[in-house]
Structure formats: structure tokens, C-alpha cells
Amino acid sequence: MIKDKNLAVRIAKNKLVYILVCVLSGLTAIPLFAILGEVLIKGWKQLGWSFLTEATPNAYKALMAMQAGEPVPGGIANGIIGTFLMLIMAAVVAIPVGVLCGICLSEYRKNWFATIVSYLTDLLQGTPSIIIGIITYIWVVVPMKGYSAFAGSVALFIMMLPLIIRSTEETMKILPETLKEAGLALGGSYWRVMIQVMLPSAFGSIFTGILLAISRVVGETAPLMFTALGAAAISWNVARPMSAVPLLIWEFFNDPNLQNLIWGASLFLLVFVLCLNLLAKRIAKKWKI
């Protein structure tokens, strides 16, 4: 009798743990939908052609429009252009350097230098983004005597680099050794095998890593605050301060007159980042090694 009761308790406990795990896991999904819902509901009204093609209004214009009961004019075109320009400049350098470095790390695994580089990559990846902002300020903004989009792209480059190195290294490590041996046996030189055999087979995973790295840095605000600074007008000059979408959100957050634009800008950023993430997942699944 006692034994049976004991068993019943154990089974009940088992059920309880199961239900608890399911309920708590379900609760974790709530913030995602709460954030998506909040940004969608408040943001979609603002999105429109002019929102994507016009520059940010100044506070006075916004105040006048608000007092007249009209929607705040203008948009976030200056931020969109800045984000893409800085992102492209950073990616153009970070992708080749990162991929090559990742290949080196996976090839010279036992080498002491590679071990140090590997640990430093981890260190750099874990460095808070605000520190990257300070460093770029010291390295680029101070010597150039001014904030610039170039400094912003340097900050994004430093953030992207370890992410790309890591993903490339992980990918190259799981490629079968026989693939390389087959290439070498056919008489290909070492680097020819690397570039014509190994890289194409790893392309899907490396590409996924690059997309994820971009989606990680595109929403970064802290490293841009003391580097690209932000600018109200549309600008293509990389030696001058430039805005970016996350910087604009920060600006709108701090300026009560511009607060009406905040959700549209957030929606744009959120949709862009989440689409990049989903796309990366898709590609990773399709091109699985």
C-alpha cells in the first residue's frame, strides 16, 4: 500500500515537472510577440513612401505639425542611407579578412599562435559594444579631429570581424578531411584546393555566418554614438557625421517633439533584422554540409 502511494507521488511529480517545463517555456515566447505586436501596431501607421525617402525633420517643424494636429512630416532616409553605407564599408573589409583568418585558424589548429588568436577572437567577441565605441573614438575620431561615418564603419568592422572568423572557423572544421586530400591528390596546389574546393563547399555556412554578423551589428547603437554621431540631413560624405537607423531611434527617444517617429523607425529596423535572421536560418538549412 505504502509503495503504491510512493509510486503515485513520483508519477505526479513527473507530470508536474513536465507541465512546469512546458508552461515556463511557453511564457518565454511572450516577450517576442509582445515586442513585435507593440512595434507593429504603433509603427505601421507611420511607414509609408515619404517615411522612407525623406530626412528627419527638425524639432521645430515637428512641434509645429503636432500643434496643428498633423502627422509629423519627414522620415528616416538619412538613417537608412547611413546604416547601409557604413554597413557596406565595414563588410567589404571584414568579410575577406574574417574568412581568411577563419580558414587560417582551422588549418593551423595546433599552432601556438593560432591558439592565441583564437582566444583573442573570443575576447573581442565578448567585448561590450560600448567599449568598441570608446576605442574607435580614441583611434579614429580623435586623430581625424571629428566624428565621421568612416569612424562608425570602423566600429562596425571591429564588431563584425570576430563573428565572421568564428563562423568560418567552425564551418571549416567540420568539412571532411577527405575533401582536401582528394583535391591535393589531383595535384592542386594548397591554396588552389582551399579556394576552389574547400571554400565553395563551405559557402552556404559561411554566408549564413556573414548574414548573422550583419544582423547583429545593424541594430547596434552604442558603438555609433561616439563615432558616427548622427546628422539630420541626408549625406553621402563618409568623412562627415552621418546618422543610422538605431541612432535615430535613440535621438527620437530623447526628443519629445520627435517621439511620433520612433515606432516607424523601430519597425523598419526590427523587420530588417528579423528577416536577415530568418533568411540566414533558411540558407543554413538548405546548404547544410
Partner 1 sequence: MLSALVIPVIGVGIIASLISDSTGAFEKFGFWNFLFSDDWVTKSGSESYGALPFITGTLLTTFLALIICIPFSLPVALFVGEYFRGRKIATILSTVTDLLAGIPSIIYGLWGFYALRPIFMHLNLSPQGSGILTAAFVLAIMIVPYAASLSAEFFKMVPSDLKEGAYAMGATQAEVIRRVVFPTAGSGVFSAYILAIGRALGETMAVTMLIGNTNQMPDTLRTTGNTMASIIANQFGEADGLKLSSLIAIGLLLFLITAFINLIGKILIRKAQHV
Residues 99-118 that bind partner 1 (CB under 8 A): 100-101, 104-105, 113-114, 116-117
Amino acid at 46: Q
Our finding on whether 283 is near partner 1 (CB under 8 A) is no
Determine the interface stretch with partner 1 among 35-43, 62-70, 80-88, 175-183 (rule: CB under 8 A): 35-43
Least separation in angstroms between residue 135's CB and partner 1 is: 5
Q: How many residues bind partner 1 (CB under 8 A)?
A: 77
Determine the interface stretch with partner 1 among 83-91, 172-180, 201-209, 272-280 (rule: CB under 8 A): 272-280
Here the cell at position 282 is 533558411
Task: Determine the angle formed by the axes of helices 199-218 and 149-174, rounding to 10 degrees.
Answer: 140
Select from 6, 8, 21, 236 the one that contacts partner 1 (CB under 8 A).
21
Our finding on whether 10 is near partner 1 (CB under 8 A) is yes
Our finding on whether 8 is near partner 1 (CB under 8 A) is no
Name residues contacting partner 1, limited to 251-270 (CB under 8 A).
253, 262, 266, 269-270
List Cβ neighbours of 46 (8 Å cut-off, separation of 6 or more): 71, 260, 261, 263, 264, 267
Q: Point out which residues pair with 33 in neighbouring strands.
A: none
Determine the interface stretch with partner 1 among 64-72, 76-84, 154-162, 184-192 (rule: CB under 8 A): 154-162
Integer CA distances (angstroms), 277 to 51, 160, 211, 212, 286, in order: 24, 15, 7, 6, 14
Please say whether the dihedral angle defined by the alpha carbons of residues 271, 274, 280 and 286, taken in this order, is positive or negative. negative
Is the separation of the CB atoms in 215 and 231 below 8 Å?
Answer: no
Our finding on whether 80 is near partner 1 (CB under 8 A) is no
Q: What secondary structure letter does DSSP report for 175?
A: S
The backbone torsions φ and ψ at residue 229, rounded to the nearest 5 degrees and listed phi first, read: 65, -50
Determine the interface stretch with partner 1 among 44-52, 75-83, 220-228, 232-240 (rule: CB under 8 A): 220-228
Here the cell at position 219 is 541594430
Our finding on whether 39 is near partner 1 (CB under 8 A) is yes
Our finding on whether 186 is near partner 1 (CB under 8 A) is no
**Is the Cβ of residue 29 or residue 68 nearer to partner 1 in the bound state?**
29
Our finding on whether 152 is near partner 1 (CB under 8 A) is no
**Is the Cβ of residue 30 or residue 68 nearer to partner 1 in the bound state?**
30
Residue carrying the nine cell digits 538613417: 79
